[in-house]
Amino acid sequence: MWQTLSNIYRLGIKELWSLWRDPAMLLLVIYTFTGSLYVAATAAPETLHKATIAVVDEDRSQLSARLIGALYPPQFMPPADIPLYEMDRVLDEGRYTFVLNIPPDFEKDTLAGLQPALQLNVDATRMSQAFTGNGYISQIISSEAQDYVRGYRAETHLPAELALRARFNPALEHSWFGSVMELINSITMISIILTGAALIREREHGTVEHLLVMPLGPAQIMLSKVWSMGLVVMLMVWLALQLIIQGALAVPIEGSLLLFMLCVALHLTATTSMAIFMATVARTMPQFGLLLILVLLPLQLLSGGMTPRESMPEFIQTVMLAAPTTHFVKASQAVLYRGAGIDVIWPQLLSLALIAGVLFTVALKRFRRTISQMA
Protein backbone atom coordinates (compact mmCIF):
# COMPACT_ATOMS: atom_id res chain seq x y z
CA MET A 1 0.00 0.00 0.00
CA TRP A 2 2.74 2.44 0.97
CA GLN A 3 4.71 1.52 -2.11
CA THR A 4 1.67 2.26 -4.30
CA LEU A 5 1.18 5.65 -2.69
CA SER A 6 4.90 6.38 -3.04
CA ASN A 7 4.77 5.53 -6.75
CA ILE A 8 1.75 7.79 -7.27
CA TYR A 9 3.46 10.60 -5.40
CA ARG A 10 6.75 10.34 -7.32
CA LEU A 11 5.01 10.09 -10.69
CA GLY A 12 3.03 13.20 -9.79
CA ILE A 13 6.24 15.06 -8.94
CA LYS A 14 7.56 14.04 -12.36
CA GLU A 15 4.46 15.60 -13.96
CA LEU A 16 5.02 18.83 -12.05
CA TRP A 17 8.62 19.01 -13.25
CA SER A 18 7.47 18.37 -16.81
CA LEU A 19 5.04 21.27 -16.55
CA TRP A 20 7.75 23.50 -15.07
CA ARG A 21 9.95 22.79 -18.10
CA ASP A 22 7.14 23.72 -20.51
CA PRO A 23 7.19 27.56 -20.56
CA ALA A 24 4.35 27.89 -23.08
CA MET A 25 1.96 25.79 -21.00
CA LEU A 26 3.09 27.50 -17.81
CA LEU A 27 2.45 30.92 -19.33
CA LEU A 28 -1.01 29.81 -20.46
CA VAL A 29 -1.90 28.69 -16.94
CA ILE A 30 -0.66 31.90 -15.32
CA TYR A 31 -2.40 34.19 -17.81
CA THR A 32 -5.68 32.28 -17.62
CA PHE A 33 -5.93 32.77 -13.87
CA THR A 34 -4.69 36.39 -13.83
CA GLY A 35 -4.97 38.54 -16.95
CA SER A 36 -7.88 36.62 -18.44
CA LEU A 37 -9.94 37.05 -15.27
CA TYR A 38 -9.27 40.78 -15.12
CA VAL A 39 -10.09 41.30 -18.80
CA ALA A 40 -13.32 39.30 -18.56
CA ALA A 41 -14.43 41.40 -15.59
CA THR A 42 -13.59 44.84 -16.96
CA ALA A 43 -13.27 44.83 -20.76
CA ALA A 44 -16.83 44.02 -21.81
CA PRO A 45 -19.34 45.38 -19.30
CA GLU A 46 -22.97 44.40 -19.81
CA THR A 47 -24.16 47.77 -18.50
CA LEU A 48 -24.14 50.81 -20.78
CA HIS A 49 -20.77 52.54 -20.65
CA LYS A 50 -19.57 55.54 -22.70
CA ALA A 51 -22.03 55.05 -25.53
CA THR A 52 -21.70 57.63 -28.31
CA ILE A 53 -24.80 59.74 -28.94
CA ALA A 54 -25.74 62.72 -31.09
CA VAL A 55 -28.80 64.97 -30.81
CA VAL A 56 -30.74 66.82 -33.50
CA ASP A 57 -32.40 69.56 -31.46
CA GLU A 58 -35.04 71.22 -33.64
CA ASP A 59 -36.93 72.62 -30.66
CA ARG A 60 -34.18 74.56 -28.85
CA SER A 61 -36.36 74.79 -25.77
CA GLN A 62 -35.80 74.48 -22.05
CA LEU A 63 -37.24 70.95 -22.09
CA SER A 64 -35.01 69.79 -24.94
CA ALA A 65 -31.97 71.19 -23.13
CA ARG A 66 -33.03 69.30 -20.02
CA LEU A 67 -33.29 66.04 -21.96
CA ILE A 68 -29.86 66.53 -23.52
CA GLY A 69 -28.35 67.37 -20.14
CA ALA A 70 -29.65 64.11 -18.69
CA LEU A 71 -27.51 62.10 -21.14
CA TYR A 72 -24.26 62.28 -19.22
CA PRO A 73 -21.27 60.00 -18.45
CA PRO A 74 -20.50 57.30 -17.59
CA GLN A 75 -23.46 55.80 -19.47
CA PHE A 76 -23.02 58.15 -22.43
CA MET A 77 -20.34 60.27 -23.97
CA PRO A 78 -21.17 64.00 -24.03
CA PRO A 79 -23.94 64.36 -26.68
CA ALA A 80 -22.91 65.93 -29.97
CA ASP A 81 -25.17 68.60 -31.48
CA ILE A 82 -25.68 67.91 -35.21
CA PRO A 83 -28.05 69.32 -37.86
CA LEU A 84 -30.89 67.27 -39.29
CA TYR A 85 -29.26 66.70 -42.68
CA GLU A 86 -26.27 64.93 -41.06
CA MET A 87 -28.32 62.38 -39.12
CA ASP A 88 -28.29 59.61 -41.73
CA ARG A 89 -24.67 60.25 -42.71
CA VAL A 90 -23.22 59.93 -39.19
CA LEU A 91 -25.11 56.66 -38.70
CA ASP A 92 -23.88 55.32 -42.03
CA GLU A 93 -20.31 56.17 -41.04
CA GLY A 94 -20.74 54.47 -37.65
CA ARG A 95 -19.73 57.60 -35.71
CA TYR A 96 -22.57 57.34 -33.18
CA THR A 97 -24.56 54.50 -31.70
CA PHE A 98 -27.61 56.68 -31.00
CA VAL A 99 -29.03 59.77 -32.70
CA LEU A 100 -31.95 61.43 -30.92
CA ASN A 101 -34.19 63.72 -32.98
CA ILE A 102 -36.20 66.26 -30.96
CA PRO A 103 -38.91 67.76 -33.25
CA PRO A 104 -39.97 71.43 -33.41
CA ASP A 105 -42.52 72.61 -30.82
CA PHE A 106 -41.73 69.61 -28.64
CA GLU A 107 -41.98 71.56 -25.39
CA LYS A 108 -45.15 73.34 -26.48
CA ASP A 109 -46.91 70.13 -27.50
CA THR A 110 -45.79 68.34 -24.33
CA LEU A 111 -47.21 71.02 -22.06
CA ALA A 112 -50.42 70.96 -24.10
CA GLY A 113 -50.79 67.23 -23.43
CA LEU A 114 -50.50 66.25 -27.11
CA GLN A 115 -47.87 63.54 -26.42
CA PRO A 116 -45.42 64.44 -29.21
CA ALA A 117 -43.10 61.73 -30.53
CA LEU A 118 -39.31 61.83 -30.50
CA GLN A 119 -37.27 59.75 -32.91
CA LEU A 120 -34.39 57.63 -31.64
CA ASN A 121 -32.17 56.17 -34.34
CA VAL A 122 -30.05 53.23 -33.19
CA ASP A 123 -27.06 51.57 -34.84
CA ALA A 124 -28.18 47.99 -34.17
CA THR A 125 -24.88 46.53 -35.38
CA ARG A 126 -23.57 47.43 -31.90
CA MET A 127 -26.01 44.96 -30.45
CA SER A 128 -25.20 45.01 -26.73
CA GLN A 129 -25.13 48.79 -26.44
CA ALA A 130 -28.13 49.20 -28.75
CA PHE A 131 -30.31 46.87 -26.67
CA THR A 132 -29.33 48.33 -23.30
CA GLY A 133 -29.12 51.97 -24.42
CA ASN A 134 -32.59 51.93 -25.95
CA GLY A 135 -34.10 51.23 -22.55
CA TYR A 136 -31.85 53.76 -20.81
CA ILE A 137 -32.77 56.60 -23.17
CA SER A 138 -36.49 55.77 -23.09
CA GLN A 139 -36.47 55.82 -19.30
CA ILE A 140 -34.48 59.06 -19.14
CA ILE A 141 -36.79 60.88 -21.59
CA SER A 142 -39.93 59.68 -19.84
CA SER A 143 -38.65 60.60 -16.39
CA GLU A 144 -37.32 64.03 -17.37
CA ALA A 145 -40.44 64.94 -19.33
CA GLN A 146 -42.72 63.94 -16.45
CA ASP A 147 -40.67 65.94 -13.96
CA TYR A 148 -40.75 68.95 -16.26
CA VAL A 149 -44.51 68.78 -16.74
CA ARG A 150 -45.07 68.52 -12.99
CA GLY A 151 -43.63 71.99 -12.70
CA TYR A 152 -46.64 73.29 -14.62
CA ARG A 153 -49.35 70.87 -13.54
CA ALA A 154 -50.56 69.21 -10.39
CA GLU A 155 -48.52 66.15 -9.47
CA THR A 156 -50.12 62.86 -10.41
CA HIS A 157 -49.74 59.73 -8.29
CA LEU A 158 -49.28 56.29 -9.74
CA PRO A 159 -51.68 53.60 -8.53
CA ALA A 160 -48.74 51.39 -7.52
CA GLU A 161 -45.05 51.85 -6.85
CA LEU A 162 -42.31 49.32 -7.54
CA ALA A 163 -39.56 48.96 -4.93
CA LEU A 164 -36.53 47.26 -6.52
CA ARG A 165 -34.04 45.33 -4.41
CA ALA A 166 -31.02 43.81 -6.13
CA ARG A 167 -29.77 41.05 -3.85
CA PHE A 168 -26.19 39.70 -3.82
CA ASN A 169 -25.07 42.51 -6.19
CA PRO A 170 -26.78 45.77 -5.15
CA ALA A 171 -24.96 47.99 -7.67
CA LEU A 172 -25.32 45.43 -10.49
CA GLU A 173 -21.55 45.42 -11.02
CA HIS A 174 -20.64 43.28 -14.01
CA SER A 175 -17.13 42.64 -12.66
CA TRP A 176 -18.62 40.71 -9.74
CA PHE A 177 -20.24 38.25 -12.12
CA GLY A 178 -17.74 38.25 -14.99
CA SER A 179 -14.65 37.50 -12.92
CA VAL A 180 -16.15 34.62 -10.94
CA MET A 181 -17.74 33.00 -13.99
CA GLU A 182 -14.49 33.34 -15.93
CA LEU A 183 -12.71 31.61 -13.04
CA ILE A 184 -15.24 28.77 -13.10
CA ASN A 185 -14.84 28.33 -16.87
CA SER A 186 -11.05 28.52 -16.59
CA ILE A 187 -10.97 25.71 -14.05
CA THR A 188 -12.69 23.39 -16.51
CA MET A 189 -10.59 24.44 -19.49
CA ILE A 190 -7.14 24.39 -17.88
CA SER A 191 -7.68 21.11 -16.03
CA ILE A 192 -8.59 19.36 -19.27
CA ILE A 193 -5.71 20.93 -21.20
CA LEU A 194 -3.05 20.22 -18.57
CA THR A 195 -4.02 16.60 -17.96
CA GLY A 196 -4.59 15.72 -21.60
CA ALA A 197 -1.38 17.42 -22.69
CA ALA A 198 0.59 15.57 -19.99
CA LEU A 199 -0.49 12.18 -21.35
CA ILE A 200 -0.03 13.10 -25.01
CA ARG A 201 3.38 14.63 -24.22
CA GLU A 202 4.55 11.30 -22.78
CA ARG A 203 3.29 9.45 -25.83
CA GLU A 204 5.03 11.85 -28.21
CA HIS A 205 8.30 11.73 -26.23
CA GLY A 206 8.18 7.97 -25.86
CA THR A 207 8.22 8.00 -22.06
CA VAL A 208 5.08 5.86 -21.83
CA GLU A 209 7.15 2.86 -22.84
CA HIS A 210 9.52 3.59 -19.95
CA LEU A 211 6.61 3.54 -17.54
CA LEU A 212 5.37 0.22 -18.91
CA VAL A 213 8.60 -1.60 -17.97
CA MET A 214 8.29 -0.38 -14.38
CA PRO A 215 6.18 -2.10 -11.72
CA LEU A 216 3.39 0.43 -12.21
CA GLY A 217 -0.28 -0.14 -12.89
CA PRO A 218 -2.52 2.00 -15.10
CA ALA A 219 -4.38 3.26 -12.03
CA GLN A 220 -1.15 4.55 -10.47
CA ILE A 221 -0.16 6.37 -13.66
CA MET A 222 -3.59 7.89 -14.03
CA LEU A 223 -3.89 8.93 -10.38
CA SER A 224 -0.49 10.64 -10.53
CA LYS A 225 -1.69 12.84 -13.39
CA VAL A 226 -4.99 13.58 -11.68
CA TRP A 227 -3.51 14.73 -8.38
CA SER A 228 -0.57 16.67 -9.83
CA MET A 229 -2.50 18.62 -12.46
CA GLY A 230 -5.39 19.07 -10.06
CA LEU A 231 -3.00 20.51 -7.47
CA VAL A 232 -1.69 23.06 -9.98
CA VAL A 233 -5.20 24.20 -10.83
CA MET A 234 -6.28 24.41 -7.17
CA LEU A 235 -3.20 26.47 -6.31
CA MET A 236 -3.90 28.88 -9.18
CA VAL A 237 -7.57 29.12 -8.20
CA TRP A 238 -6.65 30.06 -4.64
CA LEU A 239 -4.18 32.69 -5.83
CA ALA A 240 -6.69 34.06 -8.35
CA LEU A 241 -9.33 34.42 -5.65
CA GLN A 242 -6.95 36.20 -3.29
CA LEU A 243 -4.98 38.40 -5.69
CA ILE A 244 -7.28 39.11 -8.65
CA ILE A 245 -10.91 38.66 -7.63
CA GLN A 246 -10.77 39.85 -4.02
CA GLY A 247 -7.64 41.95 -4.46
CA ALA A 248 -7.50 43.81 -7.78
CA LEU A 249 -11.23 43.68 -8.54
CA ALA A 250 -12.49 43.99 -4.94
CA VAL A 251 -15.24 41.42 -5.51
CA PRO A 252 -16.83 40.39 -2.19
CA ILE A 253 -16.93 36.63 -1.60
CA GLU A 254 -19.83 35.76 0.66
CA GLY A 255 -19.27 32.07 1.35
CA SER A 256 -16.54 29.77 2.60
CA LEU A 257 -13.49 29.51 0.36
CA LEU A 258 -12.69 26.09 1.82
CA LEU A 259 -16.12 24.82 0.81
CA PHE A 260 -15.60 26.25 -2.67
CA MET A 261 -12.22 24.50 -2.90
CA LEU A 262 -13.95 21.24 -2.00
CA CYS A 263 -16.27 21.80 -4.96
CA VAL A 264 -13.21 22.52 -7.11
CA ALA A 265 -11.50 19.29 -6.00
CA LEU A 266 -14.51 17.14 -6.89
CA HIS A 267 -14.92 18.94 -10.20
CA LEU A 268 -11.23 18.50 -11.03
CA THR A 269 -11.48 14.77 -10.42
CA ALA A 270 -14.19 14.63 -13.05
CA THR A 271 -12.54 16.92 -15.61
CA THR A 272 -9.07 15.39 -15.33
CA SER A 273 -10.57 11.93 -15.80
CA MET A 274 -12.41 13.27 -18.84
CA ALA A 275 -9.13 14.69 -20.15
CA ILE A 276 -7.37 11.33 -19.87
CA PHE A 277 -10.18 9.65 -21.77
CA MET A 278 -9.91 12.31 -24.50
CA ALA A 279 -6.12 11.92 -24.62
CA THR A 280 -6.50 8.19 -25.25
CA VAL A 281 -8.80 8.96 -28.19
CA ALA A 282 -6.58 11.67 -29.72
CA ARG A 283 -3.12 10.73 -30.92
CA THR A 284 -1.54 14.18 -31.23
CA MET A 285 -1.95 17.60 -29.64
CA PRO A 286 -3.70 19.07 -32.72
CA GLN A 287 -6.26 16.25 -32.59
CA PHE A 288 -6.67 16.82 -28.86
CA GLY A 289 -7.23 20.53 -29.47
CA LEU A 290 -10.01 19.86 -31.98
CA LEU A 291 -11.62 17.36 -29.63
CA LEU A 292 -11.35 19.88 -26.80
CA ILE A 293 -13.40 22.42 -28.78
CA LEU A 294 -16.19 19.90 -29.30
CA VAL A 295 -16.30 19.05 -25.60
CA LEU A 296 -15.50 22.37 -23.90
CA LEU A 297 -17.99 24.63 -25.68
CA PRO A 298 -21.11 22.63 -24.69
CA LEU A 299 -19.80 22.26 -21.15
CA GLN A 300 -19.42 26.02 -20.75
CA LEU A 301 -22.38 27.28 -22.78
CA LEU A 302 -24.99 24.82 -21.49
CA SER A 303 -23.98 24.53 -17.84
CA GLY A 304 -25.93 27.58 -16.69
CA GLY A 305 -22.96 29.88 -16.23
CA MET A 306 -23.64 32.16 -19.20
CA THR A 307 -27.41 31.77 -19.54
CA PRO A 308 -29.93 30.39 -17.05
CA ARG A 309 -30.67 26.71 -17.53
CA GLU A 310 -34.39 27.41 -17.18
CA SER A 311 -34.33 29.24 -20.52
CA MET A 312 -32.95 26.18 -22.34
CA PRO A 313 -35.04 23.38 -23.87
CA GLU A 314 -36.00 20.69 -21.38
CA PHE A 315 -34.08 18.05 -23.34
CA ILE A 316 -30.86 20.06 -23.00
CA GLN A 317 -31.49 20.60 -19.29
CA THR A 318 -31.92 16.86 -18.77
CA VAL A 319 -28.87 15.86 -20.81
CA MET A 320 -26.60 18.42 -19.09
CA LEU A 321 -27.34 16.89 -15.71
CA ALA A 322 -24.74 14.30 -16.68
CA ALA A 323 -22.09 17.03 -17.08
CA PRO A 324 -19.99 17.95 -14.04
CA THR A 325 -19.97 21.64 -15.02
CA THR A 326 -23.73 21.92 -14.45
CA HIS A 327 -23.46 20.98 -10.79
CA PHE A 328 -20.15 22.81 -10.31
CA VAL A 329 -21.54 26.10 -11.62
CA LYS A 330 -24.63 25.84 -9.43
CA ALA A 331 -22.63 25.01 -6.31
CA SER A 332 -20.00 27.69 -6.98
CA GLN A 333 -22.56 30.43 -7.51
CA ALA A 334 -24.39 29.41 -4.35
CA VAL A 335 -21.22 29.50 -2.24
CA LEU A 336 -19.43 32.53 -3.70
CA TYR A 337 -22.44 34.75 -4.39
CA ARG A 338 -25.02 33.79 -1.79
CA GLY A 339 -22.88 32.41 1.02
CA ALA A 340 -24.53 28.99 0.97
CA GLY A 341 -23.29 26.24 3.24
CA ILE A 342 -22.91 22.52 2.78
CA ASP A 343 -26.52 22.02 3.90
CA VAL A 344 -27.59 23.82 0.71
CA ILE A 345 -25.16 22.47 -1.88
CA TRP A 346 -24.87 18.86 -0.73
CA PRO A 347 -26.95 17.62 -3.72
CA GLN A 348 -24.43 19.22 -6.09
CA LEU A 349 -21.50 17.79 -4.12
CA LEU A 350 -23.04 14.33 -4.25
CA SER A 351 -23.69 14.66 -8.00
CA LEU A 352 -20.11 15.79 -8.61
CA ALA A 353 -18.76 12.84 -6.61
CA LEU A 354 -20.89 10.34 -8.54
CA ILE A 355 -20.02 11.83 -11.94
CA ALA A 356 -16.33 11.95 -11.00
CA GLY A 357 -16.44 8.28 -9.98
CA VAL A 358 -18.10 7.22 -13.22
CA LEU A 359 -15.74 9.27 -15.40
CA PHE A 360 -12.68 8.00 -13.53
CA THR A 361 -13.80 4.39 -13.96
CA VAL A 362 -14.52 4.79 -17.67
CA ALA A 363 -11.26 6.67 -18.27
CA LEU A 364 -9.24 4.08 -16.33
CA LYS A 365 -10.76 1.26 -18.39
CA ARG A 366 -9.94 3.06 -21.62
CA PHE A 367 -6.46 3.98 -20.40
CA ARG A 368 -5.73 0.37 -19.36
CA ARG A 369 -6.81 -0.88 -22.79
CA THR A 370 -4.64 1.71 -24.53
CA ILE A 371 -1.58 0.81 -22.49
CA SER A 372 -2.10 -2.91 -23.09
CA GLN A 373 -2.17 -2.28 -26.84
CA MET A 374 1.08 -0.30 -26.63
CA ALA A 375 2.71 -3.08 -24.64
CA 314, chain centre distance (Å): 23
Kindly give the parts of the chain with pLDDT less than 50: 153-154
Contact 108, 131 (CB under 8 A): no
What would you measure as the largest C-alpha separation in the chain, in angstroms?
A: 94
Angle CA 189–280–301, to nearest 5:
30
Encode 268-289 in three state secondary structure: HHHHHHHHHHHHHHCCCHHHHH
Which residues of the chain form beta strands (DSSP E)? 53-57, 80-81, 98-102, 119-122
Whole-model pTM over 0.85: no
Note the pLDDT of residue 219.
Answer: 82
Note the pLDDT of residue 249.
Answer: 86
Cα separation of 251 and 254, whole Å? 10
* Number of alpha helices (DSSP H) and beta strands (DSSP E) in the chain: 15, 4
Domains and CATH numbers, the chain: 2-44+172-374 (no CATH), 53-150 (3.40.1710.10)
Cα separation of 18 and 199, whole Å? 11
Cα separation of 141 and 143, whole Å? 6
Contact 186, 180 (CB under 8 A): no
Contact 121, 91 (CB under 8 A): yes
Note the pLDDT of residue 373.
Answer: 64
Note the pLDDT of residue 327.
Answer: 94
